[in-house]
Structure 1
């Protein structure tokens, strides 16, 4: 087992496909946005306890990784020598379920950091927790989008297509492309507001054919890349602005003792 606190560096690993995953420790944060500039779907803001640690991919799933697992590449933007490093897109929620099934089958004999786990989509609360990376502003870097070009691809700077993952700066927890590039599927059913609150687990009582997508994309305006911005897509929807990012969930405890881990979000610098 891996102790989560008191380490000089955040535990991480690189999988057999070359993707790196970083440990995200438990903590508490405010989900949503009660500001007048927020969207009705982002209210009421609610406090969420992230009680279980998980490993979150540093970057979205690439075309190369998808092709390796599925034997095909559905993406629109495949031109150029670096296409394999671009995010996979044109994948539906149902496509991803098959991808996860095959990935977990293929990787069942591998352990990482001495642990056995499984791949899955993040819940909406896990996604926003990571996107905020300990900050409470509209974006993790503040309330204005003047710095956005340093961290993400959107309609104002993408040049009309996706780009290779990881070209922009990461957020404060070391995760790339959380603002723009491609919207990312989450495991939650869509519900129009946060009435009733949320937990770390995926919300499963909303509209069963619609699922949450997060992050904004290369063809959306800057407002859609805010940490609290949320949207949805039907489970069969495929789009050149819609991709995914993975969570690796250990199947055994990570904590060696009963000490309460320190949340990386405890020092809000916004």
Structure 2
């Protein structure tokens, strides 16, 4: 008997065949995992983000070859509204109108409010919040016209709760959830959904580096740092994986999630259940 969601060969059904997806901030980490998950389900994918040109080219080719879908890279600067609009237009010319938009691009800075550099505040709110608005604004009209669309905003558990020293990030992620709800309401009668995924701590190369740095700074083992610093509020006491976040996003892009909209979905090991 074949498990639900799999074909007789054990492969996932290509339920997004013919769909066009833009995933911002997708040259590494969560965004790259999401792009892979959508490609595996048959979507043509546009990658976006920073990285070594040769490495990005290799990633683009690898995903395309592995899943037999068109994949291209677009280096649009997500802090620039004009470049975001151009990204959506270039995607239309290359693959067709955007069916799936995953707003994942984000940056972080940690400091007390009175010491927080204003330029860091501006950069974080531009990339973590305003970019999601500008991309949604550019893509939503065509989704409504065609009667189908999926917008998934990668927010954070910090879009639901706060931690000290992360004023810009927390404010931006709370704003992303507000934008998600408004978009969902405006698009609800047009076959377009908009949801936010709110990860807790996820094991990525960036987090691995932060763990190592904290261990050196405090004279602790990496295991102690993970348990007492990073996962102190995450009841499962383990990091979520990139694959878990990507699978959640992919589900929200499926027809099975057609009645899920305006939701801020924690994927945080129970952190926000406190």
Shorter-chain TM-score: what band? under 0.3
Structure with greater strand percent: 1
Q: TM-score, length-normalised on structure 1? A: 0.27
Structure with greater helix percent: 2
Higher relative contact order (CA 8 A, sep 6+): 1
